[in-house]
Structure 1
């Protein structure tokens, strides 16, 4: 968690859990820490963790079973990939729109992307 990150803390928690699920650090049917335990571990509000877990459940990443806890659900990686591609497309549209206002060509942006790929 970072106070310098512009995202609210609940979103930072949610994003880190989603990342752990996607890369396989959290497996299907794995039990997540309780809301209170996660809040204590991260030293943040229970309300913040509750919001993150609620968002994760609404987006289908976890399921909460009363009395048992919250568990990772099976994810459809292809569906997740399509969703992320759509999100990236929207962000790239914003970037190309802004770039055109400054007379920056799409080819310049493509070159930047190629440079970034080479730097990996």
Structure 2
């Protein structure tokens, strides 16, 4: 598992950890029932507080991406297709909002955006 902390980013460290692990789970880079590093080991490797790492893991568990077994550690939860779909839909909405802002700044119409998307989709 690769986690990169960007100290120049405005995002909190726990959120960077949470987002990267979640992305790796959704993409399949982290497999179902795969053990995650212990909270202490990850904190040590990243040179951050255990509290920060625990907060990221707690958020992942709360959203159903990981589960914890006492005295064993944290593991990737079985994929919930609907949960992953919802996560992807939220990301698409965020990206579309950003696209809308960029389009407005460039003076692009909705129709021009649709045509752009159709053109890009045809290339793939």
Q: Tell me how large the CA RMSD over aligned residues is.
A: 2.9
SS in structure 2 at match of 1:71: strand
- Taking the aligned partners of 2:37 and 2:7, their CA distance within structure 1 comes to 23
The residue that corresponds to 1:21 in the other structure is 25
1:112 deviates by 5.4
1:1-120, aligned counterparts within 5 Å?
1-89=5-93, 91-93=95-97, 95-96=99-100, 99-100=103-104, 103-110=107-114, 113=117
- Any unmatched runs of 5+ in structure 2? none
Provide Cα deviations, 1:15-58, integer angstroms capped at 9, x if missing partner. Answer: 11112212222111111111110001111111110100000000
Structure 1 unaligned residues grouped into runs of 5+: none
Q: State TM-score, norm by structure 1.
A: 0.78
Q: Distance in 1 between matches of 2:95 and 2:23?
A: 19
Normalising to structure 2: TM-score of the pair? 0.76
